[in-house]
Structure 1
């Protein structure tokens, strides 16, 4: 199988993540997209608003119930910390030798990609699909052959916005799947 890895903290997962995963499944010619719930991002140290790993995974799993070809994945949560994409990809290759893994990242992460641990090795050994993010400008003439740009819809929803809305008592309806609205409110309330 050809599996797209869509990593993130999903703190919390929202309808933008799910819409994007659906688009990437189709545009990337993928058999599945795994929403890889990640521990603390090594490039975003110092965050104190990150909900417990298990809770974020459980909410992601619940939010994806009934989605075809899109699954919540806790694989990275079981690996040694810090969490490096290169390490995750190497472990996946060992555990799933018959599958091909494609890294799915936003344009903002592609701009930071040279700072990623073993980024050159990732580009040499794995296919990468980059989707647009507002404010990111990618020079198509500099892309390696293993990197493909897809044109997905830009969604102006963020997990930060959802957490802020909960703190101020504003509605999060239509921002997170109905199946997890109460879980999100309960877990992110101060």
Structure 2
């Protein structure tokens, strides 16, 4: 079985997240995609982060796909770092081929993730194009360091079965939505209610 792992705060989940999950499911020929809704991102301020149960429920409503599931498995494992989640899952599911999925905007900061090189060495990575993040992430530190392990997009269907490190950059349907922008709009609407 091949399962894509798509981690994030999903605060809030939106159509761009759905497009990334479905693009990866189809293009990588995965059996499933699991959204790992994190209890808190170590690289972000989590003070205003809504409760995990709320974000999980919102992600489940948004996805509504039989092969894509939003999970709180990181909280159940007691971890917040990608490497720890991958280590846990690969140790407990040795017959499953996991692929880490991220939006292209995350590739630009991937080198700041804890144990990022070990993440790349533990599971293949699929980077899905996002508006405004098509070219600059490819010159980022991690992309350059991993450049010799990049797999042509035309061979992406076999990524789950490749020995890591291996990664590909996928193009597909995109959305301009972002959680940051949606939170900003909500805050603005609350600050200036209509009369």
Q: Same fold (TM over 0.5)?
A: yes
CA distance in 2, matches of 1:47, 1:84: 14
Show the 5 A alignment for 1:33-72.
33-44=33-44, 46-65=45-64, 67-72=65-70
Using the TM superposition, give the Cα deviation of residue 131 of structure 1 relative to its aligned residue in structure 2, in angstroms. 1.3
- Classify 1:135/1:162 alpha carbon distance in 2 versus 1 (closer, same or farther; 3 Å): closer
Alignment check: 8 A CA contact 2:15 2:175 kept: no
Instruction: Give deviations 1:67-88, integer Å, cap 9, x for gaps.
Output: 131111110122334x111100
Instruction: Give deviations 1:139-190, integer Å, cap 9, x for gaps.
Output: 47752420111112331112233333334449xxxxxxxxxxxxxxxxxxxx
| Alignment match, 2:29 | 29
> Structure 1 stretches (4+) deviating beyond 6 angstroms?
none
Give the structure-1-normalised TM-score: 0.78
Using the TM superposition, give the Cα deviation of residue 130 of structure 1 relative to its aligned residue in structure 2, in angstroms. 0.7
CA distance in 1, matches of 2:169, 2:88: 26
Alignment check: 8 A CA contact 1:105 1:130 kept: yes
- Classify 1:89/1:124 alpha carbon distance in 2 versus 1 (closer, same or farther; 3 Å): same
Alignment check: 8 A CA contact 1:28 1:150 kept: no
Instruction: Give the aligned length.
Output: 167
| Alignment match, 2:152 | none
Instruction: Give deviations 1:107-164, integer Å, cap 9, x for gaps.
Output: 2221222221111112222100111233332147752420111112331112233333
Show the 5 A alignment for 1:7-156.
7-44=7-44, 46-65=45-64, 67-81=65-79, 83-136=80-133, 137=136, 138-139=138-139, 143-145=147-149, 146-156=166-176
Using the TM superposition, give the Cα deviation of residue 14 of structure 1 relative to its aligned residue in structure 2, in angstroms. 1.2
**Gap regions ≥5 residues in structure 1:** 171-190
Alignment check: 8 A CA contact 1:57 1:72 kept: yes
Q: CA RMSD in A?
A: 2.1
**Gap regions ≥5 residues in structure 2:** 150-165, 191-195
CA distance in 2, matches of 1:164, 1:112: 22
